[in-house]
Amino acid sequence: MSILLFKPHRKMTDEELMQRVARDSESAFEELYRRYARRLQSFFFRQLGGDDEMASDFTHDVFMRMYEARDAYAEGSSVATWLFTIAYNLCKNTYRHNEHVTAFLATLDDEPFSEEDVEVRLTQEQQMDAVRKVLSSLPPPLHLLFSLHYEEGLTIPQIAQIEHLTEGTVRMRIHRTMNMIRQKLASI
């Protein structure tokens, strides 16, 4: 008599679930949706100017694309990185028509790299309000970069993979973004 061991979906890793999704498991897909939908919707909400309906549409689009490409999933790859790559590309496509953003990023990468930081002294509550205000004023690609790293907790290598940039370029842009934020906070 053989005993089949059953591991509930909630105890599986994202990668194990994705392998099951690739074999058309609806319940595994639902578990991944449960794990990531809220996080992705929050990400889109922040990136798309607080448009809840658009954030919801984009979230569903990520999962639709993931499901359609389930056979292309490379076993062992990070599911989170894959989903945020899809999300990043959706955001990037919405920004693409904005030519000044591309020009801004080109000039940002050409500026000399400085290790100098700007000091800011505010109460924690003032900082949170000021940071929200400053983030909303950043060019969308920098807000996106900030969000991927500081709000979604993705690593430099993951972001480099998502954005198709070198890790050094990602580090430099994060550093410059943080200095821009500090400078804007200093003027508040």
Whether 176 shows a pLDDT value over 70: the answer reads: yes
Whether 60 shows a pLDDT value over 90: the answer reads: yes
Banded model confidence at residue 188, pLDDT cuts 50, 70, 90: low
Q: What is the pLDDT of residues 70-104, one digit of tens each?
A: 888 888 888 999 899 999 888 888 776 555 555 55
Q: Do the beta carbons of residue 79 and residue 15 sit within 8 Å?
A: yes
Share of the chain above pLDDT 70, in %: 79
Share of the chain above pLDDT 90, in %: 16
Banded model confidence at residue 62, pLDDT cuts 50, 70, 90: very high
Banded model confidence at residue 36, pLDDT cuts 50, 70, 90: very high
- The pLDDT, as a whole number, for residue 42 is 92
The verdict on 107 and 63 lying in the same domain is no
Q: Do the beta carbons of residue 160 and residue 98 sit within 8 Å?
A: no
The whole-angstrom separation of Cα 97 and Cα 78 is 30
Whether 86 is covered by a domain: the verdict is no
Whether 71 is covered by a domain: the verdict is yes
Task: Give the range with max mean pLDDT: 102-106, 118-122, 148-152.
Answer: 148-152
Whether 32 shows a pLDDT value over 70: the answer reads: yes
The verdict on 54 and 115 lying in the same domain is no
Which of 32, 48, 78 represents a domain boundary (last residue)? 78
- The pLDDT, as a whole number, for residue 2 is 45
Number of domains in the chain: 2
Banded model confidence at residue 65, pLDDT cuts 50, 70, 90: very high
Residue carrying the six token digits 């595994």:
28
Q: Do the beta carbons of residue 22 and residue 71 sit within 8 Å?
A: yes
Domain interval for residue 66: 8-78
- The pLDDT, as a whole number, for residue 97 is 56
- The pLDDT, as a whole number, for residue 61 is 92
The verdict on 72 and 105 lying in the same domain is no
Whether 125 shows a pLDDT value over 80: the answer reads: no
- The pLDDT, as a whole number, for residue 58 is 93
The whole-angstrom separation of Cα 60 and Cα 62 is 5
End-to-end Cα spacing for the chain: 72
The verdict on 110 and 169 lying in the same domain is yes
Whether 156 is covered by a domain: the verdict is yes
Whether 41 shows a pLDDT value over 90: the answer reads: yes
Whether 154 is covered by a domain: the verdict is yes
